[in-house]
A and B are shown apart, each in its own frame.
Chain A
């Protein structure tokens, strides 16, 4: 569903000299796969993730979704595209602590252009139930860290996007909560047919990966997932 063509992302250093952070000649990402991106700090993992979701315009090359160059869209249409196509999950959850779990999940229905808010509220509640998040809390800040990350997953899934992008989704969680989240991400790709791309160093998540991408100074190297037996076609 995503195709990257000759993508280059570079910044200028303090002296004004350009330096390249990401250089990817070609990359295809399909549905129904859990892709884990690893690599040392500063190797460009987050940059790749934000380039894929339309928040970081590459210096050169294209990011295509179903053939459409997403950076050729107007900003307003790209915002809308992102809302419907990608669900984002962050290391630090980034919930609004003063809002209830459900209000956090349905927050994007207030962004405008949402037709059936009632149906989405019902869906949000159902997602929280499935993910095992208590919905009776008045404030998201009252949830445990694992529950907060699962609330963030529910939020990412509200519009039923075909792709989930996660930056270190288990890095702030203990092993037990990480396992829950990792299983959920796996199920999202396996059972629900989504593309799940996660930047992570967590063995719990890596062990479930269909594909392993390794970034080294902006260059990509694909390795065979070792622990998984069956690889989807």
Chain B
């Protein structure tokens, strides 16, 4: 049995710094590729998961992406408001199990305060709150799983989050100030993997009240949640609807794709975004592959130069009776081992990189990302190893033919 391993290891040890540099180069190139693909998948999964409970969104006509970013991901930019008549009509739909207005305008300590209804809070939390109970009064709130507030804490909401949201509140915009109410935390949602984990949810009636809008109930009423009085409803940025069946979902979507509203399934809008993201990933993949190829070529050139220094060694081996095939196998194993070790190290590196990016992204947005090693990363690493093995035949074939004695004389 031919066993070039002791010799390969000795040769690798001869120039440890060079060997480690070669391995590190392969690892970085592979790591980037792994990080890109696993991060992209995590982003898809994370955003899809975050949108899970947002079956149907109805918003004012305009960009569905904007409306989705607003309702699902709480990116508060200014959008048109849905007309009060439309809001009233949706609340009256018999096949809408939950109709949740989403109203913004206030914040506390950087966390958005979102006005909605108690039923939606429970639904978002998976049917049951993690702690406490839904709000039942204007001055009560339910916080997201990641909120630093505890049950029993009280706080003053601050008007504004940098963007003016609601009109007709009579305040000058651009100056954040505290509203003069004390809000008490009475419940906490289970983790949703979405920016809602960092949010504070209050009765939409409070948001409306704070901004001098009608509260959906008769003057002076302290009621929280539906039913609402149609002519006392203000406009809202978006409504999240849980239809009672798939058929109802499509029915409602069709009805509200109309002159004065738009309706969409966030899951569908996400798929469109992914398609866009997919094109970008394609580009990044090409770039990553180009990097990997360049690295392998550069390493190959380096190895050729290095192996020239080892020519005497290989000639001596031939003089000692080693067949050409042994020399070939030694050089091939040497190159293939560098690429293989680098590729496997790159898998770990990419994993770490993706984990770090994901964690930073989650901290920034609240969208829970879980970057994992999947089949495509394993394929990438195996492809690199295969390319390395194929490419390793080049120096092996070139060097094993060299005349033996020239290097010995």
Residues of chain A touching chain B, judged by Cβ–Cβ distance below 8 Å, are 46, 50, 53, 55-56, 75-76, 79-80, 82-84, 88, 90, 94, 96-99, 103, 107-108, 110-112, 155, 167
Residue numbers in A under 8 Å from B405 (CB-CB): 46, 50, 55-56
Q: A55-B404, A76-B323 are in contact. List 15 more A-B contacts (CB 8 A).
A: A50-B408, A79-B323, A80-B321, A83-B321, A88-B319, A96-B10, A99-B7, A107-B7, A108-B321, A110-B3, A110-B4, A111-B2, A111-B321, A112-B326, A167-B408
B318 lies within 8 A of chain A by Cβ: yes
Residue numbers in B under 8 Å from A94 (CB-CB): 312-313, 316, 408
Residue numbers in A under 8 Å from B317 (CB-CB): 107, 111
B13 lies within 8 A of chain A by Cβ: yes
Contact A111 B14 (CB under 8 A): no
Choose among B11, B14, B322 the residue that contacts A108 (Cβ–Cβ < 8 A). B322
What distance in Å separates the Cβ of A137 from its nearest Cβ neighbour in chain B? 14
Residue numbers in A under 8 Å from B5 (CB-CB): 110
B175 lies within 8 A of chain A by Cβ: no
The interface bits of chain B over 288-321 (1 if a CB of A lies within 8 angstroms of the residue's CB, else 0) are 0000000000000000000000001100111111
Supply 8 A–B pairs (Cβ within 8 Å), ascending by A.
A75-B323, A79-B322, A98-B13, A99-B7, A99-B10, A107-B320, A110-B2, A111-B320
Q: Chain B CB within 10 Å — which of A83, A99, A107 has the most?
A: A107
Choose among B4, B7, B322, B326 the residue that contacts A96 (Cβ–Cβ < 8 A). B7
Residue numbers in B under 8 Å from A111 (CB-CB): 2, 317, 320-323, 326
Residues of chain B touching chain A, judged by Cβ–Cβ distance below 8 Å, are 1-7, 9-11, 13-14, 312-313, 316-326, 404-405, 408-409
Residue numbers in A under 8 Å from B404 (CB-CB): 55
Q: Identify the closest chain B residue to A75 (Cβ).
A: B324
Q: How many A-B residue pairs have CB under 8 A?
A: 79
- Cα A53 to Cα B319 in complex, Å, equals 8
Contact B320 A83 (CB under 8 A): yes
- Cα A74 to Cα B9 in complex, Å, equals 30
Residue numbers in B under 8 Å from A97 (CB-CB): 10, 14
- Cα A55 to Cα B324 in complex, Å, equals 12
Contact A46 B6 (CB under 8 A): no
What distance in Å separates the Cβ of A141 from its nearest Cβ neighbour in chain B? 10
- Cα A46 to Cα B1 in complex, Å, equals 32
- Cα A103 to Cα B5 in complex, Å, equals 12
Q: Identify the closest chain A residue to B327 (Cβ).
A: A111
Residue numbers in B under 8 Å from A167 (CB-CB): 408
What distance in Å separates the Cβ of B245 from its nearest Cβ neighbour in chain A? 73
With A110-B4, A111-B2, A112-B1 known to touch, is A98 a contact of B10 (CB < 8 Å)?
yes
The 10 closest A-B pairs by CB, nearest first: A83-B321, A98-B10, A112-B2, A94-B316, A110-B3, A111-B322, A79-B323, A98-B13, A82-B321, A50-B405
Q: Identify the closest chain A residue to B330 (Cβ).
A: A110
- Cα A99 to Cα B316 in complex, Å, equals 15
Residue numbers in A under 8 Å from B10 (CB-CB): 96-99
- Cα A88 to Cα B318 in complex, Å, equals 11
Q: Chain B CB within 10 Å — which of A84, A108, A110, A167 has the most?
A: A110
Choose among B11, B13, B319 the residue that contacts A55 (Cβ–Cβ < 8 A). B319
Choose among A46, A55, A80, A99 the residue that contacts B318 (Cβ–Cβ < 8 A). A55
What distance in Å separates the Cβ of A7 from its nearest Cβ neighbour in chain B? 16
What distance in Å separates the Cβ of A152 from its nearest Cβ neighbour in chain B? 10
What distance in Å separates the Cβ of B37 from its nearest Cβ neighbour in chain A? 38
- Cα A46 to Cα B318 in complex, Å, equals 16
- Cα A59 to Cα B116 in complex, Å, equals 97
Residue numbers in A under 8 Å from B1 (CB-CB): 112
Contact A96 B319 (CB under 8 A): no
- Cα A56 to Cα B315 in complex, Å, equals 13
What distance in Å separates the Cβ of A127 from its nearest Cβ neighbour in chain B? 15
Choose among A46, A79, A98 the residue that contacts B321 (Cβ–Cβ < 8 A). A79
Q: Chain A CB within 10 Å — which of B5, B13, B316, B320 has the most?
A: B320
Q: Identify the closest chain A residue to B407 (Cβ).
A: A94
- Cα A99 to Cα B1 in complex, Å, equals 20
Q: Chain A CB within 10 Å — which of B13, B316, B409 has the most?
A: B316
Q: Identify the closest chain A residue to B316 (Cβ).
A: A94
Contact B323 A110 (CB under 8 A): no
Q: Identify the closest chain A residue to B326 (Cβ).
A: A111
Contact B13 A46 (CB under 8 A): no
Residue numbers in B under 8 Å from A90 (CB-CB): 316, 408
What distance in Å separates the Cβ of A203 from its nearest Cβ neighbour in chain B? 24
Q: Identify the closest chain A residue to B409 (Cβ).
A: A46
Residue numbers in B under 8 Å from A107 (CB-CB): 6-7, 317, 320
